Structure 1
Amino acid sequence: MTNNTSPSFIWGTATAAFQIEGAWNADGKGPSIWDTFSHTPGNVKNNDNGDVACDHYNRVDEDVALIKNLGVDAYRMSISWTRLLPEGTGQLNQKGADFYNRLFDKLLEKNITPWATLYHWDLPQALQDKGGWTNRDITGWFEEYTDHVCRLYGDRVKNYIIINEPSIITYLGHYLGIFAPGIKSLDAMYASQHHINLVNGLVTQQMRGLLKDTNLGSSYTYFPMYPKDPSKPEDVRAAQIMDETWQRNFADPLFKGVYPANTLPHVEKYIKDGDMKTIVANQDYFGINHYNSNYVRADDSHPLGASNAEAPPGPRTDIGWNISPADLKVALIEIKEKYGNPVVCITENGMCENSEPDAKGVVNDDRRVGYLKDYTDAMFDARDNHGCNLQGYFVWSLMDNFEWAEGYGMRFGIVHMDYQTLKRTPKKSYDWYKSKIAESR
């Protein structure tokens, strides 16, 4: 197996607006659902919020320098919808638009290609008040937002992720209610699934019409779903249900124009003529975010009849996720076999390891180094020995940041963040990744 990459292979790192920007109400920005959710006591550990986060909004030069020094080809970030449109629609907030103009220009000056995520979970609260993803009108709201993005940045930004991790939005946000907007409803989950699929298709068409030479896709959580006890038919069935809920309900419509047979009765009331044809978006790549595999058991206390189960004994990250590089290869081969070997970009992969600086200020996150080595080896194994069509790899994350409902306690960054001083300290994994990229060229 070789780890050498072709000149077209993309090495990158990734962040998201709400997790790093801070400046939550600065320069005309409106509130998002994550502002509302994190400001509600009890929703986030330690009652943390994104008000300051990494203060990236005021430290762009410093962060772009870290990205440049890393040697990546590309930087994946996200645009805050409420910086551009504080109410979700209507009047453009020019100061918010200017922030991203500055960021994109600085990246391009350093020969770093921006990959812009249009939606990384921070829906304008004003639109949530109208039903958010459960309201089919979100198609028009999202198209209005996209029109601004294309007009403002389309001359320079050519790579886009339309929606990040629909399964998190729908399952954690609309079914379990442990992520924003905090809804607990099976119907809301299925409505939001269909409307996300529809938006993805419509916006792909829209951007094709507005921009030239673009690279368009979305990013999906993708990992094997295993039954807790393969000898129990009920656990096998539960794993299938969870696999459909997290993966097939998005990938099957995208590639095949159909929902899984088990899902269709739940979503058909939301489907209108022409929807399924629109959803087959013919995008340029299939983005996957992969961290671990998942184990599932039958659970009659949940409306789905399934819930997550403890993985078998083995190594874990500090957030408790199992470490299994072979399952990244399994996922990539499965995508190849199920969906006709599409171009795949790994838009997130990384490890939670909560190492702190030692007495000399060095962050020896050796377990993260091992994780990244093993997972990138598995990625190249899938490509070189199994014919998987890989476009690139983005490590999550550039820096420690606001880890959603976990607050600031869980660290995924290759740069350490001191949340009191906001000092950035590259970790051992930063140096390893820098060397890995250099050696691959």
Structure 2
Amino acid sequence: MTSFLHRADFGADFIWGTATAAFQIEGATISDGRGASVWDTFSQKRGAIKTGENALMACDFYNRYATDIALNKEMGFDAFRFSISWSRVLPLGTGRVNEAGLAFYDRVIDECIRQGQTPWVTLFHWDLPQALEDRGGWANRDVLTWFADYVTLIVRTFGHKVKHWFVLNEPSAFTILGYLVGMHAPGRRSFTSIPAVIHHAALAQADGGRIIRDNVPGAVIGTTFSCSPVEPISPMKRDVQAAQRANALLNRLFIEPTLGLGYPVQELPFLKTIDKRFAKPGDRERLAFDFDLIGLQHYFRVVVEQSMLVPYLWGRDVSPNRRGVEAITEMGWEVHPNSMLHILRQFSLYDGAHKWIVAESGAAFFDQVEHGQVIDTARTAYHLQCLQQVRQAQTDGVDIAGYFVWTLLDNFEWAEGYRPRFGLVHVDHRTQQRIIKQSGHWFRHFLTD
């Protein structure tokens, strides 16, 4: 596949990596003193995981990390993004430290460095310790203290080796999906507590950045947001207003308080509850933090129509199937030609924002092993299309620092189980055999030629 692009086009300092998450790849969920997370509990609920599977083994990264990091290197990447399991290092979320958990991440970091792979650490990728959820989780303001203690432990332990940090992964996902609609862990459906959950996550994001800055000299500090261009299904006022509300929820909810702009209460009036019930003096200032870079994680665009059946938004996504779209992924997501470019341009309009980085980009397609190979032409084309749009955004003046592929390995894809495969490396979850897919070989040629 011809790319008409070269690695050098993006700049000598452009970062190339893959991204992963602890719960999705590590396995060893009951090994070496690890405590339960909300995803361990959620996975046991009947019907919570579409396939009925769990992450007890996942990709066995806990035991195979050295060979998996070597695969990342073999494909030409120079950065490896992984998250730390809070409950592996603090089994009860607070208090007693599990030294075996810290030792594991110490080995992973050392292996990255040994193989020339820069470690990029995500502090929270959705797996809150179950013991803390039992005490109210993100709805309890005490989570700010719990999170601060956890972050302090991690950055003081590893800050002399790790200089690149993301505080939260997609706060809109774990708050809305986990606490409002119940599709993800912890599986709550609460209209009354969701403003508190949002507020505490936004405060924790800024608090985490300050803790890193105070403890890690020379740190590059970021956080990540899921984002999608939002369009109305029609030019009718009701659909346009529904799209504006969806854009506020999906794209503005967490970045604007981070930039000191406050919450988008005009489009989402339910957020006024934060000031009325949950905020304390000084919170607005506390929400803001000057991150060194912002991670954007983009997969699809959203087309919205008005719907009085969806509280708060009064609108709903019009699925690609309903719109007659044929280019869709295994997740049912539309592959839209200019979606990445549109979202990069949209976020670049914020005043005072610093560098941007594509912290996740990927697509799940049906993969098949034939004669020891996986020919995933659609995934290769997807990444090429995204990279072309990233390059165009650079040409337009958007300061983009790098591109992280989601993901290195076919993994446990949250509530979807193992069916959707996003990886550049195929994993047989019965044997744990790894096979670099055609897309992985394409990246190797692109990044090393």
**TM-score interval w.r.t. the shorter chain?**
over 0.9
Residue identity matched to 1:152: T
Scaled by the length of structure 1, the TM-score of the pair is 0.96
Whether 1:267 and 2:274 are equivalent positions in the alignment is yes
CA deviation digits over 1:254-296, x for unaligned, max 9? 1133111334413222221111112110000010100111112
Contact 2:408–2:425 at 8 Å: present in 1 too?
A: yes
- The yes-or-no answer on 1:290 pairing with 2:302 is no
* Distance (whole Å) between structure 2 residues aligned to residue 22 and residue 257 of structure 1: 40
Does the CA contact (< 8 Å) of 2:260 and 2:284 recur in 1?
no
Instruction: Report what 2:64 is aligned to.
Output: 59
Question: Which of 204, 213, 222 is the aligned partner of 1:199?
Answer: 204
Q: Say whether the 8 Å CA contact 1:18–1:80 is kept in structure 2.
A: yes
| Partner AA of 2:310 in structure 1 | H
- Structure 1 residue 176 displacement after superposition: 0.8
| Cα drift, residue 402 of structure 1 | 0.3
1:307 to 277, 293, 316: 316
* 8 A Cα contact 1:28 1:93, kept in partner: yes
Match of 1:346 among 353, 358, 362: 358
**Residue number in structure 2 paired with 1:86:** 91
Of the candidates 32, 36, 43, which is equivalent to residue 38 of structure 1?
43
1:232 counterpart letter in structure 2: M
SS at match of 1:26: coil
Asked whether the 8 Å contact 1:257–1:279 carries over to 2, the reply is: no
**Displacement of 1:227:** 1.5
CA distance in 1, matches of 2:196, 2:250: 14
RMSD value, Cα: 1.3
The residue aligned with 1:336 is 348
Q: Which residue of 2 is the match for residue 136 of structure 1?
A: 141
CA–CA separation in structure 2 for the residues paired with 1:9 and 1:117? 19
1:148-159 aligned at under 5 Å gives the runs 148-159=153-164
Q: Which runs of 4+ in 1 moved over 3 A?
A: none
Name the residue aligned to 1:412: 422
231, 240, 260: which one aligns with 2:235: 231
Contact in 2 for aligned 1:316/1:323 (Cα 8 Å):
yes
TM-score by length of 2: 0.95
Give the superposition deviation at 1:171. Answer: 1.3
**Secondary structure of 1:217 counterpart:** strand
Give the Å deviation of 1:319: 1.2
2:411 pairs with one of 390, 401, 404: 401
Cα deviation, 1:357-415, whole Å, max 9, x if unaligned, reads 11x1110000001000011000110111x100101100000010000110001000000
Q: Distance in 1 between matches of 2:167 and 2:108?
A: 19
On the 8 A contact 2:69/2:80 being kept in 1, the answer is no
Q: Is the 8 A contact 1:341 1:389 kept in 2?
A: no
Unaligned segments of structure 1, at least 5 residues: none
User: Residue 254 of structure 1 is aligned with which of 258, 268, 278?
Assistant: 258
Give the superposition deviation at 1:320: 0.8
- Shift of residue 340, structure 1, vs aligned partner: 4.1
Paired residue type of 2:225: Y
Bigger mean CA offset, 295-304 vs 7-16: 295-304
How many residues in Structure 1 have an aligned counterpart in Structure 2?
436
User: Which segment drifts farther, 390-399 or 331-340?
Assistant: 331-340
Please state how far the C-alpha of 1:2 moved relative to its aligned partner. Answer: 6.2
Unaligned runs of 5+ in 2: none
In the alignment, is the contact (CA less than 8 A) between 2:259 and 2:353 conserved in 1? Answer: no
Distance 2:347 2:5 in 1: 22
